[in-house]
Structure 1
């Protein structure tokens, strides 16, 4: 499982558990909270009404009192109100009054007058001087039929002469409970969805940054040219820059060691030849032989200079990870310049250069491309039979430009196919000259900088064909 998905699942698990816990607490606390508010209101109402009827109960004229008549009329009154979007059409209070023995003297519904309520907690506890309240189902098998009863003592001085109870069905506030719970769940679902989207965005950002860093590491590990992607000024960016710095130091050290080893190995032969010729020149010899050994010293010195120059050029492109200042390059002009660079060598060997190109342009470094094509032309000149033609062509193939150099030589031996791009490896020339073996490695590095490829193979009609394939965009 990828790290981005792991982080997302872990984040969502934590957020989901936290949301579930909070929503569960809120939803479960809505009903007790609303009912506590209802009970508080019933306490105030019961205390107020108990004070209002105290004189009538004390005088024994409760049934004929104006307040009893009004409470009786209250039970049948209709209303038209909207509370938080919920319609209210009936009044839900029930009021009953008992004497000091718990016998019902008045019931606003008129159904329980004369009954003994002394065993109900609201009346019983109030007569004992305690807070009296109870919740009782009006239908034993239906929890939704619970009615809350809150009582207040009717006082004659310090003596309790009766109890007034105000009752209200819990179902009258249940709609508000359900509405609040529904809103909490809806808002919770939106919050959870928003948290999920934030988690996905964060996981995507983190996963994308890590994928770019891993791609860079993979390219480095494979030995391909790679530049550190933009990772931002954060911990991942810092890690990427640290890896790049470590890579530069390690590669630099390894590269220098390898370079010094190969350079020392390649310079042994010309240095030995110069040393031998110089020692022989110390002896007396015919003038012709002296000129031969002097020419040998000059040739070997030129070979060393060519080797060092080409090696330095190769070092520059090998250490370069990106093109410094890419520009639009006209392919026809590029081929003309490369042909002009080798005109003298072509003439010296009696060779013709046949150039054919389509109207193309590509993005790159004109100087490096010119040097790469020049190296391919140098190889073709070395192997082409005198008086033959070398074909230099360019054309479009899909979204790529293909630049080819063909000669009419003997072609590439099978044993050399896999080693053509090795540093310092070269095939013997027909005239016995020795190459530096750095031309094709240079071409390969230039192609890597341009996100292109190079291929050298035997042509269908004989000779060798080297093809550069470069993106057009």
Structure 2
């Protein structure tokens, strides 16, 4: 499982658990909260009505006095109210009054007059000077039929409790408000959960993108490719810089080891020749032999100097990760210049140079000096392997995804055993004319230049005889 998916699932689990806990707390607290608010209102109402009912109860006219008439009129009043989207037409209060014994002497609903309510908590506790309230089902089998009762004492002139006034209200009358609050909480809870998941998904995507870029970079480095450090942010940028620093140190150490080993190996032969010639020159020699050994020392010295120069140039090229300032290059004009420089050498070997340029050749984004060296190496190689009277053909072609350069000769071609090794450093085939082998760095140098331009070089045998080097480069 990818790390981004693990992060997203973990984040989702945490958010879901938090949302579930908070949702349950809020939803479960809505009903008791609303009922507590209703009880508070009933307590205020009961005490106000108890004061208003005092005179009629003490005068013995509580059942048909002004208080009773006003309360009954309240029940007939059309409220025509709309509260939080809920229509309310009639008051849902019920008012009962008991005497000092707890016997009902007034009931706004006209049902329980004469009933002994002294056993109910609201009346029982109030008659004893305590706060009295209860919640009781009207229908024992219906949980939704509960009614809340809140009582207040009616005091006589001497301060004793002359009766109890109870205000009751069905709990179902506030159920729409409870359900509406719960729906609102759940709605916004889902919105917040969705927003949190969206943020988590974006964070996981960003994390996955950063890690994937660093992984691709590490994979490219492991394959030995030129890799550009990806853009990153925060700790990922620090990690990328650490990886880049580690890569450079490891590559530098490994490259130096390979460089020293290769250079040492290649310098052994000319050094041995120079040492042998020098030892012979220490003794008496005929002038022709002396001149020959001196010339050999000079040739081997030049070979060593050339080898060191090519190695330094190759080392500088291999350590470049990208072109410094690529600019449009006219490849056709560049090829003509390279062919003009090689014309004298080709003529001396009896080789003809031909250039074929495709029409509408687009410009190439790159380094003109490096591209010139690439072409020069391939053309020099083709001249070396061409027979006298042979033709070296340079073709510049347009491809759907860029440009293609072909340099072909009509020499002996490449043996099968050498096809896989021609781009190895210091690997060189003997020249057909028996001349000295090259340094074996030319094709490797050309391959590095092509790679630096985002392209590649291939070398193979040509139909009809000879070899052909092909370079594919992206147009710019």
Q: Shift of residue 338 of structure 1?
A: 2.3
2:259 is the counterpart of 1:259: yes
2:447 is the counterpart of 1:470: no
Give SS of 1:18's match. helix
Give SS of 1:171's match. helix
Counterpart residue number, 1:18? 18
What does the per-residue CA deviation read over 1:71-103, in whole Å, with 9 as the maximum and x for residues that have no partner? Answer: 011112211112222221221111111111221
Query: Which of residues 367, 379, 382 is equivalent to 1:380?
Result: 382
What does the per-residue CA deviation read over 1:126-176, in whole Å, with 9 as the maximum and x for residues that have no partner? Answer: 222222111122222222221111111111133211110001111111111
Give SS of 1:243's match. helix
Give SS of 2:76's match. coil
What does the per-residue CA deviation read over 1:9-57, in whole Å, with 9 as the maximum and x for residues that have no partner? Answer: 1111111111111111011101110000000000011011111111211
Counterpart residue number, 1:140? 140
2:227 is the counterpart of 1:242: no
Counterpart residue number, 1:41? 41
Matches within 5 A, 1:51-450: 51-156=51-156, 157-232=158-233, 234-358=234-358, 359-431=361-433, 432-450=435-453
Q: Distance in 2 between matches of 1:460 and 1:107?
A: 117
Give SS of 2:425's match. coil
TM-score by length of 1: 0.97
* Conserved 8 A contact 1:361-1:472: yes
* Conserved 8 A contact 1:30-1:180: yes
Q: Distance in 2 between matches of 1:386 and 1:85?
A: 103
What does the per-residue CA deviation read over 1:307-342, in whole Å, with 9 as the maximum and x for residues that have no partner? Answer: 111111110111111111111122212211222232
Q: Distance in 2 between matches of 1:316 and 1:152?
A: 99
Q: Which moved more, 1:365-374 or 1:112-121?
A: 112-121
Q: Distance in 1 between matches of 2:80 and 2:340?
A: 102
TM-score by length of 2: 0.96
Where does structure 1 lack aligned partners over 5 or more consecutive residues? none
Instruction: State the aligned residue count.
Output: 472
Q: Distance in 1 between matches of 2:246 and 2:97?
A: 91
* Conserved 8 A contact 2:357-2:395: yes
Q: Distance in 2 between matches of 1:447 and 1:137?
A: 91
* Conserved 8 A contact 1:360-1:395: no
2:471 is the counterpart of 1:454: no
What does the per-residue CA deviation read over 1:261-298, in whole Å, with 9 as the maximum and x for residues that have no partner? Answer: 11111011111111222222233333322222222122
Q: Shift of residue 117 of structure 1?
A: 1.8
Q: Distance in 1 between matches of 2:68 and 2:280?
A: 145
Q: Shift of residue 64 of structure 1?
A: 3.1
Q: Shift of residue 409 of structure 1?
A: 0.5
Q: Distance in 2 between matches of 1:255 and 1:335?
A: 33
* Conserved 8 A contact 1:409-1:463: yes
Q: Distance in 2 between matches of 1:244 and 1:401?
A: 32
Q: Distance in 1 between matches of 2:364 and 2:196?
A: 47
Q: Distance in 2 between matches of 1:339 and 1:169?
A: 105
Give SS of 2:15's match. helix
Give SS of 1:141's match. coil
Shift >6 Å, 4+ stretches: none
Q: Distance in 2 between matches of 1:183 and 1:337?
A: 80
